[in-house]
Amino acid sequence: MPTVKHPSVPERALLVGLLHQHTTREELEDHLQELETLVRSAGAEVLAISWQQRPTPDVATFIGRGKVEELRALIEQKGITLVVFDEGLTPAQVRNLERAWNVKVLDRAGIILHIFAERARTQEAKVQVELAQLQYMLPRLSRLWTHLSKQVGGIGTRGPGETQLETDRRLIRRRIQHLQRKLEEIVAQRAQRRRRREELPRFALVGYTNAGKSTLMRALTAASVLVEDRLFATLDTTVRRFRLPGGQPALLSDTVGFLRKLPPQLIASFHSTLAEAIEADVLVHVVDVSHPSFRQHMQVVTETLRTLNIATKPTVLVFNKIDRLPADSPVLRELRSEYPEAVFISAERGINIRKLLATLQRVYEGQSEELAFVLPYTELRLLRHLRTSGQILQQEALPDGLLVRLRCPLAIGQRLRGQYASYVYPAGMLNA
Ligand SMILES: Nc1nc2c(ncn2[C@@H]2O[C@H](COP(=O)(O)OP(=O)(O)OP(=O)(O)O)[C@@H](O)[C@H]2O)c(=O)[nH]1
Ligand SMILES: [Mg+2]
């Protein structure tokens, strides 16, 4: 039996990776390094890293039997309390390994869930994380988990409420239902808040965790948002106003960063937090170009956007942290020709921020349109609809009615032109 430790004593972790058919040695090293950052972020000490080459994982124990034995000795010798695998384990594999080693076993998803649980601040984030944790944990409930849940703290046992863990599956299922209902309520409230909000151009920052999204948010909006050199500094969505170069106000949202092998339960339950990105007019994809694996990061982000069904939204690609590379770096040269539309910035040093703002305006205008209506004075009630459909650029009393000029997304424009056909003010007249 593992001994009950004081919560302030950090877990002593061993990380395990598998070099299988579809990975290269470099990829594995990069993944394990990222896992190490994650495990450290979760508050554990990393004492050893081990990997095994195998064409496919072992069904029962993921790594081979011999490796299980070898690691058992290491675990005892180093006083390891937690083993973290870089890939997803089946509930049965977790059970078998925990039985063999008598320490807690987690996979990447488990660690990410733990970090999210630690960082969640708002009610919405807390509900989302607890929901994801319970769904992840339900099939993995085992003797060791239930035993460990009696101690306070410790990785893998936090978050879902220490009381829930020691109860049985039936209680967990009931809790899941309760949380799902609660989340539905929160989603409805959020939607209502959004409806009440004025209709402004909406931009959403997306990107791999630690890419510099929050730093850019600060640079663009002068908002005081949390910036930290750690993974998942931001969990909640912040929305702030800023001004496009033309002077018109717009909204920018900053949200949770993406990561490879993000637990699907987490993406599902963070849908409401990600709603700002899902409903934005333009996405701003921030890439940390100084990271050696930035190309894989870009791929992960694209895949995550695809899961959210927003991969085809107009997107401005932003290569950040250029201050970390020499100006004549071959990477930058390559990227400039590969992505001629991208903007190269340093959010921290404020380099090329104005250029980025100009690009945001151009891209937004590229998929929105300007419309004008003359509303007869007897039809002024329609003004409200126009106001919520787009951004009012001009309002002027003419002899025949009220001239209203607005900019709105193309799809909305098409609808408005159909609906209020007789009040449309011809575009040609407008410029005259
Ligand atoms: N050198 C340099 N560092 C930067 C730049 N932009 C951001 N950083 C640093 O990168 C780290 C991460 O920045 P954040 O803005 O918190 O990143 P994020 O994308 O919001 O990260 P998450 O919220 O964790 O997903 C911080 O230490 C920043 O100071 C930049 O342009 N240059
Ligand atoms: Mg952030």
Amino acid 47 reads L
Structural Rg of the chain based on CA atoms: 26
Ligand 1 centroid – CA 367 distance (Å):
29
125 and 241 together in one domain:
no
Domain assignment present for 7: no
CATH of the domain at 251: 3.40.50.300
Same domain, 259 and 137: no
The domain that holds 154 is classified in CATH as: 3.40.50.11060
Atom of ligand 1 nearest to the CA of 256: 25
Q: What are the pLDDT digits (tens) for 346-366?
A: 999 999 999 999 999 999 988
Higher pLDDT, 14 or 2: 14
Residues 153 and 211 in one domain: no
- Mark whether 158 and 289 lie in a shared domain: no
Percent of the chain exceeding pLDDT 90 equals: 47
Are 219 and 266 members of one domain? Answer: yes
Q: What would the two tokens of residue 116 be?
A: 């999210």
Whole-number Å distance, alpha carbon 287 to ligand 2 midpoint, is 13
Lowest mean pLDDT among 6-15, 26-35, 91-100, 367-376: 6-15
Nearest atom within ligand 1 for CA of residue 205:
19
Q: Are residues 345 and 209 located together in one domain of the fold?
A: yes
Asked whether residue 226 falls in the same domain as residue 355, the answer is yes
Q: In this structure, is residue 170 part of a structural domain?
A: no
Does residue 352's CB lie within 6 angstroms of at least one atom of ligand 1? no
Q: What pLDDT is stored for residue 224 in this prediction? A: 56
Beta-sheet strands, E only, within 341-416: 343-344, 368-375, 391-398, 401-409
Q: What average pLDDT score do residues 240-268 get?
A: 83
Please choose, from the candidates 135, 360, 387, the residue with its C-alpha nearest in 3D space to the C-alpha of residue 266. Answer: 135
Average pLDDT in the chain? 85
Domain boundary among 307, 334, 365: 365
**Confidence label for 156 from pLDDT (cuts 50, 70 and 90):** low
Same-domain check for residues 336 and 257: yes
Q: Is residue 180 part of a domain?
A: no
How many domains does the structure of the chain reveal?
Answer: 3
* Boundaries of domain holding 374: 368-431
**Is the beta carbon of 214 within 6 A of some atom in ligand 1?**
yes
- The pLDDT > 70 percentage for the chain reads 86
pLDDT in tens, 79-89: 999 999 999 99
Q: Predicted confidence band at 197 (pLDDT cuts at 50, 70, 90)?
A: low
Q: Is pLDDT above 60 for 147?
A: no
Q: What pLDDT does residue 318 have? A: 98
CB atoms inside a 10 Å sphere around CB 192: 10
CA–CA separation, 82 and 90 (whole Å): 17
Ligand 1 mutation pick, 38, 112, 209, 228, max ligand atoms within 8 A of CB: 228
